[in-house]
Amino acid sequence: MKTRFVFILILPFILFLIVAFVVPLLLGVRIAFFPGETFSLDKLFVIHSFSLSNFHEAFSTILDSGLLDALRNTIVYTLCVTLGCIVFGLFGAMIVMQKFRSAGVVRILLLLSWVVPTYIVGLLWSFMWQQDEGVINTVLFDYLHWDKISGAFGAVWEYSKNGLLVKPNWLTGPNTIWAIIIPTIWRNWPFCMMMFLSGLSAIPHDIYEVAEIDGVTARERFFHITLPILRPIFALILLESLVVNVYSFNLVAMMFGNAAGFPGKYGDLLMTYIYRTSFQTWNFGVGAALGTLLMMMMLASVSVWYHSFAKDFKNG
């Protein structure tokens, strides 16, 4: 009787999950492996003969379509954003753990970038990255004179024929990937900070006191006490960052406009590439094939993650 009551309570959620997730997932896989007429709703559920033509088409044009560029950018983007969020998140958590006046206010201020909608973040940074009037180039070159500072380290900046500095364009060319990575780190690092903060708060202070009495340095306490205890937190952040960053779409879509837009070969990601393939060129079959392959890759990655960190979540 109790089991039946619990099932009744979760039944609405199960139905919603089936309608909103399972059915679209199965339809996407069906379109990928059973190509046919997919533009009309009445023919969408008609089962056609099995075929790998969508996958063949996707890989036959892989060198000309920009898929390799999107894959490369996604890997760089995921690695850099994950590392940046972990570093800034851990550093921020260790700062706000310290006891000082207005610590609560500082914590709230550090969370502001996390609560800003991605839509606003994309629009905001697209204006900030403007070449001539953007606030980033203005601060770097007009106030900090970054061209002179970086010149001492061998950086090369473009100058016009009359000797005037041509400020870098962050929204086109090789700089595009950094114009996407930096706002994403700015947007997501407070989440990592809160995760690390919860882990640091759970560590008993007695451990540090005993270690300090035994003459263990602060550096040794960090690497041999703090980091090992925070390993499950690192694992959760790694999983969340892997899934969220590989499937990142909203920020790029808003920064470059026109729905997914096209940030160029140096900034295109897998999700923006799949979106354009499906909804701008109306090639739903190839888009579904690429989406299915990406899902399989993510399942394999999550499986590797699980086997690497499963022992950290076992009781006892």
As given in the structure block, the two tokens for residue 36 are 């046919």
pLDDT, tens digit (0-9, with 9 covering 90-100), for 138-168:
888 877 877 776 665 556 666 666 667 778 8
- C-alpha 48/C-alpha 36 separation (Å) is 6
Instruction: State the DSSP H helix or E strand holding residue 108, giving kind and residue range, or none if neither.
Output: helix 103-110
pLDDT at site 113: 87
Query: pLDDT band at 316, cuts 50/70/90?
Result: very low
pLDDT at 78 over 90: yes
Mean pLDDT is highest, among 6-10, 21-25, 75-79, 172-176, for 75-79
pLDDT at site 235: 92
How many residues in the chain? 316
Helix axes 176-201, 231-246, angle to 10 degrees: 150
**Domains, in order of start, for the chain:** 48-129+170-313 (1.10.3720.10)
Token pair 């779409």 is found at 249
Query: pLDDT band at 22, cuts 50/70/90?
Result: confident
Q: For the chain, state the CA radius of gyration.
A: 24
pLDDT, tens digit (0-9, with 9 covering 90-100), for 177-225:
999 999 999 999 999 999 999 898 888 888 888 888 888 888 888 888 8
b/e burial code for range 56-80 (CB count within 10 A of at least 16 → b): eebbeeeeebbbebbbebbebbbeb
Residue from 232, 255, 252 nearest 308 by CA: 232
Cβ proximity of 193 and 117 under 8 Å: no
